[in-house]
Chain A
Amino acid sequence: METFGYLIQGFSEIFTPQALFYCLLGVTLGNFIGALPGLGPSAGTAILLPIAASMPPAIALIMLCGIYYGAMYGGTITSVLLNIPGESSAIMSAVEGFKLAKKGRGGVALGIAAIGSFIAGTIGVIALTFFAPPLAEKALLFGPAEKFALLALAFTFVSSFTSGALSKSLIALFLGLLAATVGQDVLTGVPRLTFDTEFLLDGIDFVPVVMGFFALAEVMNEMEKGEATEEIGVGALGRVIPNAQELRESAMPCARGTFLGFICGLLPGAGATIASFLAYGAEKRYSKRSEEFGHGSLDAIASTESANNAASAGHMIPLMALAIPGSSTTAILLTGFMMFGLQPGPLLFTQHPDIAWSLIASMYMGNVMLLIMNIVGIPLFVWAVKKSTPFLVPLVVTITIAGVFSVNNSMRDVWLTIACCLVGYILTKLEFSMVPILLGVVLGGLAETSFRTALRISDGSFMTFLDKPISATLLFISLIIIVAPIVMSNIKKRRALINP
């Protein structure tokens, strides 16, 4: 099994003080950011992108990914003890966990959550280890037509699964794709949609977009909360290590949560939040102790926390094998890869196996670190969150401006970020989803190049997308995803008219 050989190679590369330090730093920051209400993993990874740019690629990516999966652990702490979900994927944990904390079982809830997260996260990484490389190998056979069809499928998946109406998500997607075309055309060098200004000639780079949409716009949202925060009631922590019976009872909910979460992770657009809600619903039906739901259920914690961690690991498979991010944070991770000139996908495993495998190995290590941290360090995280919440806005704004400026050493990027922040804030208020726009901006260039190269090869015949079986199948699935909901709702309406 050459996979094992590569994995061992990866482990040998991360057992250096530097790599272990940045892995620990990433997961600690992630845990903290996940616990902080008002700052999510997307904002956390976004503001650290420019700092990461000054590090060696493997180290930087280990740190950024650590923030991503660390945040899934952290969200639970404030949910259970303070009844504030630090993360949208931890909402269900707040519903059940805070009631447990009131009964003095907050510690056990966090212990079960940490263990469930660890098991789900590790199973997810094992799946990543064995599924991503063969999938990437298949993708190596893809020509431009297939690549375009695959991107089209990813776009439709994200647009239809993300929150909000399909028409609004599609508008958001096309806005993002159009923004990606601004600037010099890659194939001919002609300036496009620049309105004859020098400001737009270099195009709309993704770092300012990411920072504007996710760091600054999130701070603007945070400002909306007007009243002073009340003194937060802290639930009792109590014993953290679960006993044998609690562990036995949580095994099945954890397994079910892991399975559901992993499937959601594979589908672009589904993601950790949907996974945790689905897992909660499924557990309510299948749990032997369903009467406890709504009054503080340990099964619910085990299942939802496993689900969101499995989903975050699952998201890494399409990202690393096909370069298709399924969520805003993975899209930001993709920009992290691209910042170093690395293209995730088939070429990553063949051209940079050291980076790919040390990243995978670091995820095993990171999950172990997080397990220990979340069993020993909970009081420390609660203290840090309570202390730092009032200072969040100045900190995020200062890091963002410093970071954006540093990318090209220019004020132009800072202004572009502020413009993106304004656009992002208004679009969020109008209830447009940000994920399709970000995906459009990040993947738009690749989509256009594949589209035009495919047409150039076929001398302009669109049949090239339908002649190739893989691309035809992918496009057919995309079409079904778009059309099926519309047809279904029409059928429902007809039925309602016939049998009122």
Chain B
Amino acid sequence: MMDDRLSNFNTKVSVLFAMVLILSGGAGAFVIVNTLQLTDSNNVFGPGFYPLILCIMLLLTSFYLLYQLLYGNSESVVIKEVIDKAAAARSFSLLALIIVAVLAMPFLGFIVAMFGFSFIQMTFLDRNKQPLRWRIIYPAVISGGIYWLFTSLSIPLPVPFWLN
């Protein structure tokens, strides 16, 4: 019966993540016990006491989740939606693009980095591709407009380091 359950991809992912949770809860508890005081000088609870309780609760609930997945009422806890790999790839490309833009920001400044981000997003990662003039005008308006809005509220945004 257990093998049946594990043959499903969504169940495998759910079980794997439950194990990740258990491991991180255990690691957290280990770190806390080793590095933080559980009781202070007056023998009342120190800085490590409360996080340790939370780690133990996390461990207990994660074990319960694993139990539900393997032996209990797994329909209520297993991932229901089919994971669409192509869709996830699009989302992660967007995240990668954001990371590149943020990495480039100290060198290019906010306006240029975000203009580049918006242009590339609208060119390669947009399901309704706009005409070229809109893919240039619109990113220019938002990156410039938001820079102007923030600086006029006297909130500074990154400028290229060679302009500083």
Contact = CB atoms under 8 A, between A and B. Distances in A.
Q: Do A and B bind each other?
A: yes
A99 B146 CA distance: 40
A394 interface: yes
Contact of A167 (B61, B83, B90, B147): B61
Contacts of A174: 54, 57-58, 61
A421 interface: yes
B128 A229 contact: yes
Given A174-B58, A177-B54, A402-B110, A193 B76 contact: no
A459 interface: yes
Contacts of A406: 150, 155-157
B96 to A, nearest CB: 10
Given A193-B32, A220-B94, A223-B94, A171 B51 contact: no
A406 B149 CA distance: 12
Contacts of B90: 223-224, 226
Contacts of A226: 86-87, 90, 127
Interface in A381-416: 390-391, 393-395, 397-399, 401-402, 405-406, 409, 411, 414-415
A352 B108 CA distance: 44
A290 interface: no
B21 A171 contact: yes
A472 B153 CA distance: 49
Nearest to B59: A174
A430 interface: yes
Contacts of A187: 47
A225 interface: yes
B118 A422 contact: no
Contact of B51 (A192, A195, A394, A489): A192
Contact of B143 (A170, A390, A398, A489): A398
Interface string A205-227: 00000000000100111011111
B51 A188 contact: no
Interface stretch (A28-36, A258-266, A450-458): A450-458
B106 A402 contact: no
B17 A425 contact: no
Given A224-B90, A224-B91, A431 B80 contact: yes
A14 B114 CA distance: 37
A54 B153 contact: yes
A137 interface: no
A415 B88 contact: no
A272 B7 CA distance: 38
Interface in B121-138: 121-122, 125-128, 130, 138
A102 interface: no
Interface residues of A, number: 62
Contacts of A190: 36-37, 47
Contacts of B118: 394, 397-398
A451 B146 contact: no
Interface string A43-54: 000000011001
B64 interface: yes
Contact of A165 (B76, B94, B117): B76
A484 interface: no
B117 A181 contact: no
B84 A228 contact: no
Contact of B127 (A50, A171, A227, A451): A227
A390 B43 CA distance: 61
B2 interface: no
Contacts of A227: 127
B125 A390 contact: no
A429 B88 contact: yes
B81 interface: yes
A390 B126 contact: yes
Nearest to B62: A171
A341 to B, nearest CB: 19
B124 to A, nearest CB: 11
B106 A411 contact: yes
Interface string B84-115: 10111011111100110110011000100010
Contact of B99 (A219, A418, A456): A418
Contacts of B1: none
Contacts of B68: 165, 167
Given A406-B157, A425-B95, 15 more contacts: A167-B64, A168-B65, A177-B54, A181-B51, A187-B47, A193-B51, A219-B94, A225-B87, A226-B86, A394-B138, A397-B114, A401-B101, A402-B147, A452-B45, A452-B49
14 contacts: A51-B150, A167-B61, A167-B77, A192-B32, A193-B28, A394-B122, A401-B102, A418-B99, A421-B98, A430-B14, A430-B79, A452-B49, A456-B44, A460-B44
